[in-house]
Amino acid sequence: MSKKLLIFLMAIGVALIFVATGLQAGTKVADTFKMESKEYKSHKKGIVEFTHKKHNIDYKISCGECHHDKDNKPLDVKMGDDVQRCVECHDKIKKRKEDKKNIMVHQNAIHGNCISCHKDVNKKAGDPKGRKGPAPASCTKCHPKTKK
């Protein structure tokens, strides 16, 4: 086998590896999923089911409104892009009284992001307090009851 043919075949092999890796780089995003986290050993309320389709397509909310960088600036991501889970950065798990405002506590970050957005939607729909309207803004509206 000639040296040129060997180099050509090696270049094709390297290119195929890059193409295959690129095809697998994105994350398959389930339309509806439970916002479970293996980091939580026990969760007292039912697990919230989230739907990308409703938020992204039906309500026209960009991915960057939830997915942000360390400075809370929206990331320029789209469906299928590889993104980190919230708990990768918001990694304090146990909620303590002194941590109620700390957004590095996973639960505070999720609740703050979701509830503030839902309340804003409800205020725009006419409820001055943002508690009642098209977007759920109370515990039981998002967390299903659990069987005991």
Is 14 inside any structural domain?
no
130-146 average pLDDT score: 89
Q: How many domains does the chain have?
A: 1
SS (H, E, C) the chain: CCHHHHHHHHHHHHHHHHHHHHHHCCCCCCCEEECCCCCCCCCCCCCCEEEHHHHHHHCCCCHHHCCECCCCCECCCCCCCCCCCHHHCCCECCCCHHHCCCCCEHHHHHHHHHHHHHHHHHHHCCCCCCCCCCCCCCHHHHCCCCCC
Average pLDDT, the chain: 81
Residue 79 lies in a domain: yes
Task: Give domain status of residue 118, yes or no.
Answer: yes
Domain that holds residue 37: 29-142
- Confidence (pLDDT) at 41: 67
The answer to whether residue 10 sits within a structural domain is no
Q: What is the pLDDT of residues 6-35, one digit of tens each?
A: 676 676 766 656 555 444 455 566 778 888
Q: Across 40-44, 104-108, 110-114, 125-129, which has the greatest mean pLDDT?
A: 125-129
* Within a domain: 124: yes
